[in-house]
Structure 1
Amino acid sequence: MHKEEIAEKFKQLQDRITKAIETTDGKASFIEDLWERDGGGGGRSRVIKEGNTIEKGGVNFSAVHGPLPEKIKTKLNVKGDEFFATGVSLIMHPENPYVPIVHMNVRYFELNDGTYWFGGGIDLTPIYIDKKEAANFHQALKTICGKYNPDFYPKFKTWADDYFFLSHRDETRGVGGIFFDHLNDSTGLSKDDLFAFVIEIGQLFAPLYAAIMKNKADYSYTEQEKDWQLHRRGRYVEFNLLQDKGTRFGIDTNGRTESILVSMPPEVKWTYQYEIKSNSKEEQTLNLLKKDIDWIA
């Protein structure tokens, strides 16, 4: 499996996802922005906004290459000095507070010294946590992981809990999902098998999230519930700007800022000492933003 083949499969994945989101939303269409990176390579940024369900969303494909910045070379502790990176990343910010925010990315990275690895993950960030929805989401991920290695789901679920954690708030970003990085032949799987796993995770997104959209897009909500959504989006922004390694990598490799920050929500609020009423739905959600919850149990 060569890097060009991997990049082409990722482009096809982007096509599949954007078509499914457009069909499910039923109103808005993605606009495409083709771009080139000064250091080498480029990508396709696709953005949807003001839809029936999706207020703002982005599905990006990129395939970039060039000299590996020294600070990243040092951080990764690698010998190669030329890199190639390709992948698909997405974020959906729904209009309805009862439809959760979702994030997914799948990626491939290689160096000119032969080093390579796959990474990615998918996680759900509900404004109001629905335990049944979380269980269905995690069960779907566990099923795919189990086809390749029974240890993948528990390991990658814990990895997601630890990664998507706002340490300055002492809370998880949402109900988690899976997260993995640096997957190579040390896993005992071939490069082709690892790529098949990554693609299957990517292909899971559309039917999994489309079902959630269809189920909850027409839920009625109050002004207070919309206000809570805007504040929870603020937590999303805090994570992406303060802690997310992918955001930092994109900036450090002279990535396209507009595409990197498409993950930001269209509207957001921060209120000093936001009041949470006792026994409210908001308090119930906050009490579930913890690591190590077994959502499937």
Structure 2
Amino acid sequence: MITKEQITADYKTIQDEITAALEQLDGSATFEQEIWERDGGGGGRTRVIQNGNIMEKGGVNFSAVHGELPDVMKRALKVEQNDFFATGVSIVMHPNHPLVPIIHMNIRYFEMPSSFGDGQTPVRWFGGGIDLTPHYVIDEDAQFFHQQLKDVCDKFSSNFYPKFKPWADDYFFIKHRNETRGIGGIFYDKLTATDELSWEDIFEFSKALGRTFAPTYVELVNRNRDKQFTDQQKEWQYLRRSRYAEFNLVYDAGTKFGLETNGRIESILMSLPPTAKWLYDPKVEEGGEEERTLSLLKKGVNW
């Protein structure tokens, strides 16, 4: 049976692979690393890249934390045990170019060690997701992105993409704006072994998803990084970043978990953009690309 030590080691390797690929993609900036420890148990490696050729701000974080689960999280997770272990890799990239999309990915594993020997079904699961937030929706890019995710899902189960795609539409939804955060992707949580898929299969899927990130984002960045853009498009980028920040601060489960379990604040809030704008009641030009993008920020689009 796979162990938390093995999962931890492989997630750390994936972090290494992704940061190396992103440094090569940017061509200028490099990641700064900070090793941190969590009060209560565990710690992580925060890696941040800033002010690069294309990466204005981004992070590729690894953590492996353990300890006593706060009551508020026990209620949220509907568990009774006190101890927990959680590890994962979390990524957010904010480019400086309005035609290059924001991207997010998270792969994670959670268990409650005390449940393993009590004769009951052990409490353990995998979760994760990846979604794309273009400032301007480009159909060909959206189709490529979703095909990449479908391909990795289909290697493990034909049911994954049809289930995880609408799950992402529902999860990455800004309720108070009545719009999706971007063009979605896939999202899953509390994924456990079944008759068809073993724990090893699910772990391999988690790693395969993690390793899909770099080639997918490299392609999307290189398609758009040399395009010219206007001041108007740059202002629109700042506005769309504000919607991204709203989601992460109000709805994101990872942000809530980190804050409730006494996580490291700088690492938790790494996902926020470096600069964003909140304009009062902004209007978009009828028939323009901004209006078109807004029309596609909805659930159920079949890319």
Name the residue aligned to 2:98.
Answer: 97
Name the residue aligned to 1:195.
Answer: 203
- Against the structure 1 CA distance between its residues 205 and 39, is the aligned structure 2 distance closer, same or farther, given a 3 Å change threshold? same
Which one of the candidate residues 182, 187, 190 is aligned to 1:174?
182
- Against the structure 1 CA distance between its residues 195 and 138, is the aligned structure 2 distance closer, same or farther, given a 3 Å change threshold? same
Quote the Cα distance in structure 1 between the aligned partners of 2:13 and 2:81. 29
Name the residue aligned to 1:5.
Answer: 6
Name the residue aligned to 2:88.
Answer: 87
Name the residue aligned to 2:258.
Answer: 250
Deviations 1:61-108 (A, max 9, x none): 000000111111122111321100000000000000000000000000
Quote the Cα distance in structure 1 between the aligned partners of 2:257 and 2:233. 34
Quote the Cα distance in structure 1 between the aligned partners of 2:149 and 2:222. 20
**Structure 1 residue 215: deviation in Å?**
1.5
Which AA in structure 2 matches 1:41? Answer: G
Quote the Cα distance in structure 1 between the aligned partners of 2:134 and 2:70. 36
Quote the Cα distance in structure 2 between the aligned partners of 1:152 and 1:182. 13
Which AA in structure 2 matches 1:101? Answer: I
Which one of the candidate residues 276, 286, 297 is aligned to 2:294?
286
Which AA in structure 2 matches 1:215? Answer: R
Name the residue aligned to 1:220.
Answer: 228
Name the residue aligned to 1:135.
Answer: 143
Alignment partner of 2:155: what SS?
helix
Which AA in structure 1 matches 2:29? Answer: A
Quote the Cα distance in structure 2 between the aligned partners of 1:57 and 1:283. 27
Aligned 1:39-78 pairs, distance under 5 A: 39-78=40-79
Name the residue aligned to 1:26.
Answer: 27
Alignment partner of 1:188: what SS?
coil
Unaligned segments of structure 2, at least 5 residues: 116-121
Alignment partner of 1:122: what SS?
strand
**Structure 1 residue 171: deviation in Å?**
0.4
Which AA in structure 1 matches 2:238? Answer: L
Quote the Cα distance in structure 2 between the aligned partners of 1:20 and 1:174. 24
Which AA in structure 2 matches 1:284? Answer: R
Q: Kindly indicate whether residue 165 of structure 2 is the aligned counterpart of residue 157 of structure 1.
A: yes
Quote the Cα distance in structure 1 between the aligned partners of 2:162 and 2:209. 15
Quote the Cα distance in structure 2 between the aligned partners of 1:270 and 1:237. 11
Quote the Cα distance in structure 2 between the aligned partners of 1:274 and 1:101. 21
Which AA in structure 2 matches 1:153? Answer: Y
Alignment partner of 1:287: what SS?
helix
Two-structure CA RMSD over aligned residues (Å): 0.8
Name the residue aligned to 1:17.
Answer: 18
Deviations 1:133-176 (A, max 9, x none): 10011011111111111110011000000000001001000000
**Structure 1 residue 129: deviation in Å?**
0.1
**Structure 1 residue 5: deviation in Å?**
0.7
Alignment partner of 1:182: what SS?
strand
> Aligned pairs, how many?
295
**Structure 1 residue 186: deviation in Å?**
3.9
Name the residue aligned to 1:207.
Answer: 215
State the percentage of identical aligned residues.
55
Alignment partner of 2:40: what SS?
coil
Runs of 4+ in structure 1 deviating by more than 4 angstroms, as ranges, are none
Unaligned segments of structure 1, at least 5 residues: none
Alignment partner of 2:63: what SS?
strand
Quote the Cα distance in structure 2 between the aligned partners of 1:241 and 1:74. 21
Which AA in structure 1 matches 2:156? Answer: Y
With the length of structure 1 as denominator, give the TM-score of the two structures: 0.98
Quote the Cα distance in structure 2 between the aligned partners of 1:194 and 1:5. 14
Quote the Cα distance in structure 2 between the aligned partners of 1:67 and 1:187. 32
Quote the Cα distance in structure 2 between the aligned partners of 1:100 and 1:149. 28
Quote the Cα distance in structure 1 between the aligned partners of 2:46 and 2:79. 30
Which AA in structure 2 matches 1:5? Answer: Q
Deviations 1:34-78 (A, max 9, x none): 000011000000000011111000000000000111111122111
Quote the Cα distance in structure 2 between the aligned partners of 1:76 and 1:43. 23
Quote the Cα distance in structure 1 between the aligned partners of 2:225 and 2:172. 25
**Structure 1 residue 187: deviation in Å?**
7.0
Which AA in structure 1 matches 2:231? Answer: E
